[in-house]
C-alpha cells in the first residue's frame, strides 16, 4: 500500500500539472493561484488512500481526489471573503488580491470544476459518489455558517462546538475517505465504516489544531501561535475554560475577552496561564484522544488486511501527533 | 402537449411546495425568500417542455427543472452582490437584507441543492445530464465575468457583446432544453439541435430585453424603462449607436456617457432620440429576428410532431413579442 507521503506527492504533482483556460483570466488565474499555494493535500490523499485500502487502482481515484482538493480550496476562497482574511498560507488571499467579486465568481467556477472532476468515476457508482459529495458540501457550508453565528453569541456549549467542527471540518475528511472507498469497490457498509473513521479523525484533527494554536511551538506551527486567543475564537479550549474557571481566573479571563485594546503577547500569555491553572491542555488532549480512539474502533470493523489498515493507523497517529 | 402556461404553473406550484431545513436559518431563509419572489419560471418550464416534446413523462423532469430554477436563482443571488443591486423583482436583494456573507454562503448551498435535484434522473443519462449542467454553469459564470469586464472597458465590439450574452443568458436556455430532451430519451443529435434552438432563442430573448429597456411601455415593463441608458450599460443598442452615430449625434452621445451628474429622464430621452436618429430600434429588432429565425431553423431539423413543435414555435413567438 502507498504511504501517505507518496500519495500526497502524487496529488501535488497532479495539481501542478493542471492547467486552466486562459480567459476570462479574472476567473481562472485566482484558481491557479490558490491551488499553487500548497497545503498538505491531506484530503485528496485520503481519497487515494481509501481506494488503495480496498485494493482499488489509485489512478481511478485521481480525478475525484483533485475534485476534493478543488472543493476544499473553493471553500477557503469564499470563507476568506466572509472572514475578511488578508492572508492564506502566508500569501494574500484571492479577495485581497483581486477583490470580492472575483473571489465570489472564481470560487463558483472552482466548485463547478470540482463537480466536473468528481463525475469522472464508473457509471455504476456515480450516483452514490455524488450523494456523498453533495452531503459533504452541504455539511461544510452549514458548519461555516454555524461558526460565523458563534462569533455573535455570548455562550457556546461544548456539544454545539463539536457539532460545528464535525460539519465544518470532519464531514469532508469522512466524505473524502468514503468516496475513495466507493471507487475501490468497497461495500456500502465498509464505506460507511470508513466514513465514521474519517469523521471521528476529523474532529480529533480540529481539536489538535485548536491545541496547537495555543500550545504549538512557534518555530514549527507555521501560523501565529495564540491567534485564536487574540480573536476570542470560541474553541473547545475557551469554551471549557469559561465553564471551569472560578474566582480570579474567571474574572481575569472575562476581562481579557472584553478588552478592545491589548498587547497581543500579553493577552496570549495571560489566557494560556489561566488555561494552565485549570488543566485545559490535558482536558483537550484527552478529548482529542477519545475521538482518535473512536476512529480506531471504526477502523477495526473494516474488513481489510492488517497491513493496509496499519497505514491508516499511522496516518491517524501522525495527524494527532503533528506539531503544525 | 402541455402549453407553456401550464408548465410554468406546474413549476410554480412545485417551487411553492418545496421546504428547506430550519437551521441554520441564515442559510435556508434566503433561499426560500429568493425562490418565493416569483419570476416567470421560464427556464425550468423549458426543461419540462423539452421532455414533453419527445414524448417523455414530465414528472421525470420535475426535479431537474427545479434544479435549473435553483441554479438560476443562485446566480442571481451572487450576481446581485457583485452588482451591488439593492432590489430584485422589486424586493430587497438577499445581500441587502442579510449581508454579503449570508448571500455568498446561502448561494453556495443553493448551488449544491441544485445538483441534488439535478441528479434525480435515470442512471443511464446521469453523466450526460451532468455534462450539460456543468458546461452550462461554467458558461454562465464566464458570461458574468465578461459582462463585469465590459464595465471597465471603453470600447466593446458587437461580436464580443453577442458572445457575452450567449454565455450569460443563452447557454442556460439551451442547457435547460437539452437536459429536458435527454430526459425525454431524445438522441444526442436531437438534443443538440434543441440546444441550438435554445441558444439562438436565448440570444434573441436578451436582445429583446435590451430593446424593451429602451422602448418598453413603462406600464407593462415592470422595471424602470431606460435603466441601461442611465447606467451606460454596453448593450447592443449602445454599442451599435457608438459605431454608427456621426457628427452632433456622436458628440452628444459621448457627452451623455461622460456626464457624472444628470437628470435621469432627460438622459434617457436624449439618448433614445439619438438612437431614433440612426434607426437603432430597427437594427436591433432585425438582429433579434435573425436569431429567432436561426432558432426556428434548428427546430425544423428536429424529428417531432408538427403539433408539438408548434408549441415551441408559439413559445419562441411569445418571447420575442413580449412587452415585459
Q: What is the pLDDT of residues B64-123, one digit of tens each?
A: 999 999 999 999 999 999 999 999 999 999 999 999 999 999 999 999 999 999 999 999
Structure confidence at residue B220 (pLDDT): 77
Which residues in chain B have Cβ-Cβ distances shorter than 8 Å to A127? 119, 123, 126
Structure confidence at residue B223 (pLDDT): 74
Which residues in chain B have Cβ-Cβ distances shorter than 8 Å to A147? none
Structure confidence at residue B225 (pLDDT): 84
Which residues in chain B have Cβ-Cβ distances shorter than 8 Å to A78? 104-105, 108
Contacts of B155 (CB under 8 A, 6+ apart): B242
What angle in degrees, to the nearest 10, is found between the helix axes of A171-183 and A42-53? Answer: 40
A77 Cα to chain B: minimum distance (Å): 11
A106 Cα to chain B: minimum distance (Å): 8
Mutate to test the interface with A, among B72, B108, B114, B130 (most CBs of A within 10 A): B108
Nearest to B78 among A108, A123, A149 (CB): A108
> Is it the case that residue A143 has pLDDT exceeding 90?
yes
Contacts of A267 (CB under 8 A, 6+ apart): A226, A229, A230, A256, A259
Residues of chain A with CATH 1.10.600.10: 1-186, 188-324
The DSSP output letter for B54 is: T
CA A187 → CA A133, A182, B178, distances in Å?
Answer: 17, 7, 35
pLDDT in tens, A264-319: 999 999 999 999 999 999 999 999 999 999 999 999 999 988 988 998 998 898 88
Contact A195, A289 (CB under 8 A): no
H/E segment holding residue A169: none
Chain B residue nearest residue A167, CA to CA: B24
The domain A188-324 having CATH identifier 1.10.600.10: the answer here is yes
> Is it the case that residue B298 has pLDDT exceeding 80?
yes
Q: What is the CATH number of domain A1-186?
A: 1.10.600.10
Instruction: Please state which of the ranges A205-209, B197-201, B217-221 shows the lowest mean pLDDT.
Output: B217-221
Which residues in chain A have Cβ-Cβ distances shorter than 8 Å to B146? 24
Chain A residue nearest residue B83, CA to CA: A101
The mean pLDDT value for B221-244 works out to: 92
User: Is the ipTM here above 0.85?
Assistant: yes
Q: In this complex, how many residue pairs, one in chain A and one in chain B, have their CB atoms less than 8 Å apart? A: 98
Q: Which residue from A184, A175, A141, A158 is spatially nearest to A67, judged by alpha carbons? A: A175
> Is it the case that residue A323 has pLDDT exceeding 80?
no
Structure confidence at residue A221 (pLDDT): 73
The DSSP output letter for B91 is: E
Which residues in chain A have Cβ-Cβ distances shorter than 8 Å to B105? 78, 82, 141, 144-145
Chain A residue nearest residue B100, CA to CA: A82
Contacts of A223 (CB under 8 A, 6+ apart): A213
> Is it the case that residue B17 has pLDDT exceeding 90?
yes
> Is it the case that residue B221 has pLDDT exceeding 80?
no
pLDDT in tens, A82-139: 999 999 999 999 999 999 999 999 999 999 999 999 999 999 999 999 999 999 999 9
Contact B26 A149 (CB under 8 A): yes
Chain A residue nearest residue B148, CA to CA: A101
CA angle B202, B203, B207 (to 5 degrees): 115
The mean pLDDT value for A155-179 works out to: 98
pLDDT in tens, A202-252: 999 999 999 999 999 887 777 778 999 999 999 999 999 999 999 999 999
B187 Cα to chain A: minimum distance (Å): 19
| Burial of B124 from C-beta contacts in 10 A (0-12 / 13-18 / 19+) | exposed
Which residues in chain A have Cβ-Cβ distances shorter than 8 Å to B123? 123, 126-127
> Is it the case that residue B324 has pLDDT exceeding 90?
no
Sign of CA dihedral B48, B51, B55, B58: negative
Half-sphere exposure of A241 (CA within 13 A, CB side): 32
Rounded Cα distance between A203 and A52, Å, is 23
Nearest to B27 among A81, A134, A145 (CB): A145
Which residues in chain B have Cβ-Cβ distances shorter than 8 Å to A24? 142, 145-146, 149
Nearest to A112 among B24, B137, B148 (CB): B137
Contact B41, B10 (CB under 8 A): no
Nearest to B78 among A24, A104, A127 (CB): A104
Which residues in chain A have Cβ-Cβ distances shorter than 8 Å to B137? 108, 112
Contact A9, A55 (CB under 8 A): no
Rounded Cα distance between A78 and A296, Å, is 33
| Burial of B218 from C-beta contacts in 10 A (0-12 / 13-18 / 19+) | exposed
Cell matching residue B242: 457608438
Contact A53, A181 (CB under 8 A): yes
> Is it the case that residue B321 has pLDDT exceeding 90?
no
Structure confidence at residue B122 (pLDDT): 97
A155 interface with B at CB cutoff 8 Å:
no
The DSSP output letter for B223 is: S
B32 Cα to chain A: minimum distance (Å): 16
Mutate to test the interface with B, among A85, A108, A125 (most CBs of B within 10 A): A108
The domain B201-324 having CATH identifier 3.30.420.10: the answer here is no
Contact B145 A105 (CB under 8 A): yes
Contacts of B173 (CB under 8 A, 6+ apart): B43, B46, B198, B199, B201, B202, B205
Structure confidence at residue B180 (pLDDT): 98
More confident residue, A310 or B182: B182
Mean residue pLDDT across chain B = 95
The mean pLDDT value for B135-155 works out to: 96
Structure confidence at residue A320 (pLDDT): 82
Q: DSSP for B110-152? A: HHHHHHHHHT-S-HHHHHHHHHHHHHHHHHHHHHHHHHHHHHT
Structure confidence at residue B16 (pLDDT): 94
Mutate to test the interface with A, among B73, B80, B145 (most CBs of A within 10 A): B145
pLDDT in tens, A30-84: 999 999 998 899 999 999 999 999 999 999 999 999 999 999 999 999 999 999 9
Structure confidence at residue B255 (pLDDT): 97
CA B93 to chain centre: 18
Mutate to test the interface with B, among A73, A131, A142, A147 (most CBs of B within 10 A): A142
- At A186, give phi and psi (nearest 5°): -70, 155
Rounded percentage of chain B residues whose pLDDT exceeds 90: 89
Nearest to B109 among A26, A141, A146 (CB): A141
Contact B26 A145 (CB under 8 A): yes
Q: Which residue from B207, B205, B280, B215 is spatially nearest to B242, judged by alpha carbons? A: B280
Residues of chain B with CATH 1.10.600.10: 1-186, 201-324
Window 104-133 of B: residues touching A by CB (8 A cutoff) are 104-105, 108-109, 111-113, 115-116, 119, 123, 126-127, 130-131
Mutate to test the interface with A, among B112, B126, B166 (most CBs of A within 10 A): B112
Contact A55, A191 (CB under 8 A): no
Amino acid at each position: 500500500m502507498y504511504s501517505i507521503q507518496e500519495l500526497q506527492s502524487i496529488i501535488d504533482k497532479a495539481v501542478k500539472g493542471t492547467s486552466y483556460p486562459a480567459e476570462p483570466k479574472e476567473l481562472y488565474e485566482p484558481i491557479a493561484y490558490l491551488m499553487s499555494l500548497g497545503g498538505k493535500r491531506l484530503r485528496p490523499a485520503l481519497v487515494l488512500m481509501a481506494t488503495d485500502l480496498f485494493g482499488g487502482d489509485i489512478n481511478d481515484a485521481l480525478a475525484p481526489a483533485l475534485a476534493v482538493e478543488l472543493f476544499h480550496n473553493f471553500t477557503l476562497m469564499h470563507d476568506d471573503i466572509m472572514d475578511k482574511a488578508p492572508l492564506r498560507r502566508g500569501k494574500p488571499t484571492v479577495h485581497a488580491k483581486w477583490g470580492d467579486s472575483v473571489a465570489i465568481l472564481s470560487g463558483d467556477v472552482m466548485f463547478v470544476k470540482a463537480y466536473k472532476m468528481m463525475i469522472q468515476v464508473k457509471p455504476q457508482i456515480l450516483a452514490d459518489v455524488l450523494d456523498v459529495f453533495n452531503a459533504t458540501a452541504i455539511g461544510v457550508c452549514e458548519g461555516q455558517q454555524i461558526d460565523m453565528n458563534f462569533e455573535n453569541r455570548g455562550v457556546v456549549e461544548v456539544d454545539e462546538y463539536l457539532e460545528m467542527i464535525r460539519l465544518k471540518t470532519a464531514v469532508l475528511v469522512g466524505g473524502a475517505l468514503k468516496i475513495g472507498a466507493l471507487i475501490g469497490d468497497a461495500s456500502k457498509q465498509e464505506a460507511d465504516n470508513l466514513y465514521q473513521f474519517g469523521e471521528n479523525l476529523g474532529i480529533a484533527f480540529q481539536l489538535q489544531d485548536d491545541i496547537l494554536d495555543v500550545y504549538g511551538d512557534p518555530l514549527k506551527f507555521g501560523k501565529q501561535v495564540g491567534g485564536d486567543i487574540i480573536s476570542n475564537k470560541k474553541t473547545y479550549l475557551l469554551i471549557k475554560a469559561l465553564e471551569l474557571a472560578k474566582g480570579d481566573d474567571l474574572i481575569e479571563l472575562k476581562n481579557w475577552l472584553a478588552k478592545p485594546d491589548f498587547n497581543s503577547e500579553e493577552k496570549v500569555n495571560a489566557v494560556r496561564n489561566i488555561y494552565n491553572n485549570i488543566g485545559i491542555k490535558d482536558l483537550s488532549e484527552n478529548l482529542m484522544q477519545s475521538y482518535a480512539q473512536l476512529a480506531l474502533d471504526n477502523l477495526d470493523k473494516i474488513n481489510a488486511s492488517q497491513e493496509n489498515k496499519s497505514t491508516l493507523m499511522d496516518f491517524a497517529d501522525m495527524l494527532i501527533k503533528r506539531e503544525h
